[in-house]
DNA sequence: ACCGGTGAGTAGGAAATTCGGACTCACCAT
DNA sequence: ATGGTGAGTCCGAATTTCCTACTCACCGGT
């Protein structure tokens, strides 16, 4: 039985418990960009080296990154995303989109992604079933766990 | 001129500076579900009350939430997402999807979202221009800021 | 008038994390 | 022998978080 003071069971919370610590998603960003070496990560992210080391251990343990040598003698390593790591990338794209629109409206984006269709890549989140772009007011939440409810719609 | 030890300029980092602290995205989750009252947030998120209070101040200052009275005498407040807050929801959906698939493969999702098309909502991130589902290997990153490069593709 | 309960926080001190810089260790190049 | 690089580790100081308790305003019942 869950102690009644436990927080809502939620996959978002679970995911954030793994990748929600400071720097973790930035590590994933760099690694997805192909910058997987320790010193590159330190420079590009701006994280303290010891914190970065613990984050990397955690992400490797979680199966989001792998650490592989790109040189024996001298031993040198590189971190790369696993399949699970690559599947987290959509989160980065949608965060980037939001940041570009809400925090960089003036200054312009510091990074353009190009899709292989030839256009600038702007992510849109759609419904797998019908293909439509998803909107808050067209979604209804159904908790599956007894005791947890949701309030009414929360439009602004 | 940027001191050369600054981290990579990046909208993802900017966004995470606002909403990347512990609990912030869970606050947004609850608020989007319509549970916007302080004590609901405490219970559903499991955050310490003082930390929650500072997160709420920050999110309101950032224009992601608004605080509005739902009762004068006694004064009672409710937090709701602004338009900017609602536009962050896709990040939550994609995180949920990842968590459901990678962390809840056995136990099942604790929350089903239903799209107004009648089906269970499973988010898919697509390219606005061509409508295709986005894949890592079909994207190319083009930094816009001199001095910042990316490595080669980083497939697993 | 008194009592208990609710909502929305504040206060305070202990515990845990983060930060920045220096340091290590192995190896290679000159 | 000296210097440089990559990948970390170590340490003490600074910052955050956590937990529990407390406040304050109001309401409802007796």
> Which of B22, B94, B97, B146 best tests the A interface by mutation, with the highest count of A CBs <10 A?
B94
pLDDT given for residue A73 in this prediction? 84
Residue B58: strand, helix, or coil: helix
pLDDT tens for B73-86 read 889 999 999 999 99
From CA B102, how far away is CA A38, in angstroms rounded? Answer: 26
pLDDT tens for A35-85 read 999 999 999 999 999 999 999 999 999 999 999 999 988 899 999 999 999
Instruction: Provide mean pLDDT across the span B135-146.
Output: 97
Query: Predicted confidence band at B5 (pLDDT cuts at 50, 70, 90)?
Result: confident
Q: How far is B53 from chain A (nearest CA, A)?
A: 17
Chain C positions with an atom below 7 A of a protein C-beta are: 6-12, 18-22, 26-28
pLDDT tens for B21-65 read 999 999 999 999 999 999 999 999 999 999 999 999 999 999 999
A67 touches strand D (CB under 7 A): yes
Give the angle subtended at the CA of A142 by the CAs of A136 and A147, to the nearest 5°. Answer: 130
pLDDT over 70, % of chain B: 94
Quick one: CA torsion of A36, B127, B142, B139, rounded to 10 degrees? 40
pLDDT given for residue A30 in this prediction? 98
In order, the DSSP letters of A12-23 are HHHHHHHH-STT
Instruction: Provide mean pLDDT across the span B127-138.
Output: 98
pLDDT given for residue A3 in this prediction? 58
B45 touches strand C (CB under 7 A): no
pLDDT of B1 over the 60 cut: no
pLDDT given for residue B62 in this prediction? 98
pLDDT given for residue A154 in this prediction? 63
């Amino acid at each position: 039985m869950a102690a009644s003071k436990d927080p809502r069971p939620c996959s978002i919370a679970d995911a954030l418990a793994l990748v929600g610590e400071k720097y973790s998603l930035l590590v994933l960003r760099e690694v997805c960009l192909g910058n997987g070496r320790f010193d590159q990560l330190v420079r590009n992210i701006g994280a303290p080296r010891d914190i970065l080391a613990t984050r990397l251990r955690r992400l490797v343990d979680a199966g989001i990154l792998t650490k592989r040598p790109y040189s024996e003698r001298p031993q040198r390593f590189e971190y790369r995303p696993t399949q699970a790591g690559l599947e987290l990338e959509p989160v980065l794209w949608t965060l980037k989109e939001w940041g570009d629109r809400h925090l960089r409206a003036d200054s312009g984006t510091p990074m353009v992604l190009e899709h292989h269709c030839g256009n600038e890549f702007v992510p849109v989140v759609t419904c797998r079933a019908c293909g439509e772009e998803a909107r808050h007011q067209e979604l209804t939440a159904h908790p599956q766990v007894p005791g947890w409810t949701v309030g009414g719609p929360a439009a602004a």
